[in-house]
């Protein structure tokens, strides 16, 4: 599975959009981009995933560049409860969770 690069930390004002970038320049054609987040003292929580089209669900939107070498997770109206570490992971659909490489993620602080 390809490796990802994320900024170590970001700040966002409450109510504003939080845009979290991720670079995955070595992504392969069959690899999906997954986002998880981990709120302090809790287990990771799945947010969203996508292959090449932009995706949206009740939690967030995922924008993947046309060359698929990078993506952005968007939390449209960040709240204090969105303060967490956000992990970007790439994985083949036929791949497996046990081989995922979990980096250090981006620590997002949502400020009042």
Partner 1 sequence: GAGVSQSPSNKVTEKGKDVELRCDPISGHTALYWYRQSLGQGLEFLIYFQGNSAPDKSGLPSDRFSAERTGGSVSTLTIQRTQQEDSAVYLCASSRQGSNAEAFFGQGTRLTVV
> How far is residue 15 from each of residues 12, 52, 83, 85, measured CA to CA in Å?
9, 28, 12, 18
- Identity of the residue, 21 or 95, whose beta carbon is nearer to partner 1 in the bound complex: 95
Residue count of the chain, please give it. Answer: 112
- Identity of the residue, 14 or 95, whose beta carbon is nearer to partner 1 in the bound complex: 95
Single residue of 31, 68, 73, 87 touching partner 1 by CB under 8 A = 87
Angle at 97 between CA 3 and CA 75, to 5 degrees: 65
Phi, psi of 11 (to 5 degrees): -120, 150
Single residue of 29, 66, 81, 93 touching partner 1 by CB under 8 A = 93
Single residue of 21, 23, 44, 55 touching partner 1 by CB under 8 A = 44
Phi, psi of 87 (to 5 degrees): -110, 130
- Range in contact with partner 1 (rule: CB under 8 A) among 17-25, 59-67, 73-81, 98-106: 98-106
Q: Using CB under 8 A as the criterion, which residues of the chain lie in contact with partner 1 when the complex forms?
A: 41-46, 87, 91-105
């Amino acid at each position: 599975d390809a490796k990802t690069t994320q900024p170590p930390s970001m700040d966002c004002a409450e109510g504003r959009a939080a845009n979290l970038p991720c670079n995955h320049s070595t992504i392969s054609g069959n690899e999906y981009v997954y986002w998880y987040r981990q709120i302090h003292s809790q287990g990771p929580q799945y947010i969203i995933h996508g292959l090449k089209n932009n995706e949206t669900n009740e939690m967030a939107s995922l924008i993947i560049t046309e060359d698929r070498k990078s993506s952005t997770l968007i939390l449209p109206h960040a709240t204090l409860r969105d303060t967490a570490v956000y992990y970007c992971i790439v994985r083949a659909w036929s791949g497996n969770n046990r081989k995922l490489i979990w980096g250090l993620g981006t620590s997002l602080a949502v400020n009042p």
